[in-house]
């Protein structure tokens, strides 16, 4: 049922930030004269998120005062909730080249100027403390920790002015925060639920989405499309799966597919808070938090990403989390269910691990229809065959 209640949501901090330059020609000319550094794909994704307002209220890379506050209390120095520092790390050689500069230009791997950074400070990061605070571990086998320790000991802070989109894939689906907010208004949606994913939508996801959709006006399927782990399903394959599932199994007037051009940090509970804030900036009022959100390995407890929301007052986060138990197909129920709704023994539950799914796909085996739609299984098998060929 469509809601008649008026419900709007303000950006985090009250103002939607836009870091794109409003003086492109002038800034581009200035950029040609500045010292440059080449940044990673992860930083390019962070620049895109800053530019489109998804990291509001941030206007650039985190300064030392905010950095220390985030690690200590999950808040900016202003007191506003912010769980993960957004930093630009550099090594000592780069630091020595730019330490006396007021501005630098950031370039992508093609050598193109993409942003100008006005440097307010350069400080030494406490990488050990950051790893333990954000990721709950300092083990290098954790992908987030590995990136952190390999990216340099110094952090450059300051506001950025972005010259061009630094994420150029799936452009028709990269609407930014202003785009989704405008679309929601045009559709008359007051209550919007967002779903974060870095995997194809399987039947358990579909079940959660449809349960959530019963209580709101619209669904934003919002996959993370920046850098992910090497063994995650490639972005182009996932997009095929998302389009297929929405086209055939969801009402078109109540769903939207928009990419989130962020990289996964795999920070578990703290990344769940960050993802909620991001969806708030996109204009969503509700956010699905499932089992082991943004997790990797065994670094976080199964429901830690849900429990962390209890550490804050609801009005501080400003978006309503919807918590779901692990879902599965139950043979005895003859339907999708969860531990909250199913009375049967686990032997009746069809649950496939990610490892098992990959093994079946590599072997060309059709995944059970109770686990994933046949159309999705076909896309995944064909993509696996292509991967083996190359």
Known catalytic residues are 198-199
Query: What is the rounded distance in angstroms from the CA atom of residue 378 to the CA atom of residue 215?
Result: 32
Nearest to 286 by CA among 263, 256, 317: 317
CA angle 295, 361, 194 (to 5 degrees): 40
Report the candidate in 374, 329, 323 with the shortest Cα–Cα distance to residue 351: 329
Find out whether 329 and 323 touch, Cβ atoms under 8 Å. no
Closest CA to 275 of 321, 327, 334, 230: 321
Alpha carbons 313 and 149: distance in angstroms, whole number: 33
Residue written as token pair 């390019």: 44
The residues, any chain, with a CB within 8 Å of residue 108's CB and separated by 6 or more, are: 38, 39, 44, 114, 166
Contact criterion met (CB below 8 Å) for 103 and 117: yes
| CA diameter of the chain | 69
Angle value at C-alpha 60, between 55 and 64, nearest 5 degrees: 110
- Please spell the DSSP secondary structure of 283-343, one letter per residue: T-SEEEE-TTTT--TTSS-TTHHHHGGGGS-HHHH-SEEEE---EEEETTTTEEEETTT--
The label of the residue with tokens 């909620």 reads 276
Strand partners, 350: 329
């Amino acid at each position: 049922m469509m809601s008649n209640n008026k419900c709007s949501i303000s950006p985090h901090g009250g103002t939607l930030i836009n870091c794109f330059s409003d003086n492109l020609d002038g800034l581009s000319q200035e950029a040609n004269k500045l010292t440059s550094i080449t940044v990673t794909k992860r930083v390019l994704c962070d620049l895109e998120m800053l530019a489109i307002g998804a990291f509001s209220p941030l206007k650039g890379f985190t300064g030392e005062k905010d950095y220390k506050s985030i690690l200590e209390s999950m808040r900016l120095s202003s007191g506003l909730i912010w769980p993960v520092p957004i930093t630009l790390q550099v090594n000592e050689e780069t630091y020595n080249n730019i330490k006396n500069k007021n501005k630098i230009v950031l370039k992508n791997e093609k050598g193109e100027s993409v942003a100008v950074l006005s440097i307010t400070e350069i400080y030494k990061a406490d990488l050990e403390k950051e790893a333990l605070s954000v990721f709950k571990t300092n083990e290098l086998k954790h992908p987030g920790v590995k990136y952190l320790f390999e990216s340099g000991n110094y952090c450059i802070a300051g506001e950025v002015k972005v010259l061009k989109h630094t994420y150029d894939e799936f452009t028709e689906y990269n609407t930014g925060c202003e785009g989704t907010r405008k679309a929601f208004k045009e559709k008359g949606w007051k209550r919007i639920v967002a779903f974060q994913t870095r995997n194809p939508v399987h039947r358990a996801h579909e079940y959660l989405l449809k349960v959530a959709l019963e209580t709101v006006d619209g669904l934003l399927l919002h996959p993370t499309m920046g850098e992910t782990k090497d063994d995650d399903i490639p972005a182009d394959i996932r997009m095929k799966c998302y389009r297929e599932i929405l086209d055939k199994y969801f009402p078109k007037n109540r769903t939207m597919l928009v990419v989130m051009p962020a990289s996964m940090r795999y920070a578990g509970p703290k990344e769940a808070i960050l993802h909620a804030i991001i969806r708030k900036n996109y204009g969503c009022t509700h956010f699905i938090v499932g089992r082991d959100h943004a997790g990797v390995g065994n670094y976080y407890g199964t429901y830690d990403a849900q429990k962390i929301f209890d550490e804050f007052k609801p009005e501080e986060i400003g978006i309503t989390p919807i918590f779901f138990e692990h879902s599965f197909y139950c043979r005895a129920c003859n339907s999708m269910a969860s531990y909250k709704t199913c009375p049967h023994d686990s032997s009746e539950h069809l649950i496939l691990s990610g490892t098992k799914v990959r093994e079946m796909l590599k072997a060309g085996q059709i995944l059970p229809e109770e686990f994933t739609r046949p159309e999705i299984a076909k896309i995944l098998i064909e993509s696996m065959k292509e991967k083996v060929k190359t």
